Amino acid sequence: MNDFLRAAERDGAPEWYGRLRVRTDVPGPAEWLTRSGPGHGDFGTVAGVAAPGFAAYARVLHPASLDGRPVRWSQVAAAYGRTVGPGTKWHRLIGAERFYHNGSDPGLPGVWDEHPEEGPTPPLVADALVPVLARHTGTAERCWFGLWNGYGRRDFDGVPTFPTPGRDEVLLGGALADVVSPVSLDEFAPLPDLWWPQDRAWCVGGDVDLVSTYVGGSPELIADLLADPRLETRLALPEDTPY
């Protein structure tokens, strides 16, 4: 157990979420996310999802799938004779209503048969994000995470939370590489909505209602994300509307 997790244990945190320690010292490390004032990210904006104040932002698209294999939005768009822009919404890309998930949709034969995963970052995307993010922080072993307490796959009654625009989050602590560890205990366990390192070099944000993950950070980080072949990424602006 590293020094960071020993410190968490001394704080009397009640349990683990995968290999991430549930923290009770809130807002503590999350206080910078809870401050209000000029420039604070509003609900319904990219900055409200991934934290305000970064030099650049990126939108990482959650893939659709065909027979269990990931399918890029650009492949789907090409099949419909459309293109994917920075603000493209999935439902518009496929010509569906906003709340498409309330009905049945067989997809497009030979192209896709499952919608992109709605919610926080899917493990497949997280696996690709982690090594890129690790190169752009000096504290990859000391990271913080926020998990919306409304997912319902774990009982967090009595665990203190910190507020973000529109959500109340449980605070978790651990190494960046352990962000995917909850699925080792429950394959349907949602990953944290928020991730940030101790040095605050970047912030990753997702939400229960989104099919994209947003990242705020340096221009160099965003350029690396855009160039990574494992990710389908577009530039974003802090005032963009992700919903």
Question: Which neighbouring-strand residues pair with 16?
Answer: 21
pLDDT digits (tens, 9 = 90+) for 115-132: 999 999 999 999 999 999
222: left (phi over 0), alpha (psi -120 to 50) or beta: alpha
Torsion, Cα 200 237 118 144, to 10 degrees, reads 10
Identify the segments of the chain with pLDDT beneath 70. Answer: 1-14, 35-41, 101-104
Question: Which of 22, 87, 50 has the alpha carbon at shortest distance from 206?
Answer: 50
Question: Which neighbouring-strand residues pair with 71?
Answer: 64
Question: Which neighbouring-strand residues pair with 214?
Answer: 59, 205
pLDDT digits (tens, 9 = 90+) for 9-59: 444 445 899 999 999 999 899 999 876 433 445 778 999 999 999 999 999
Question: Which of 227, 139, 241, 178 has the alpha carbon at shortest distance from 21?
Answer: 178
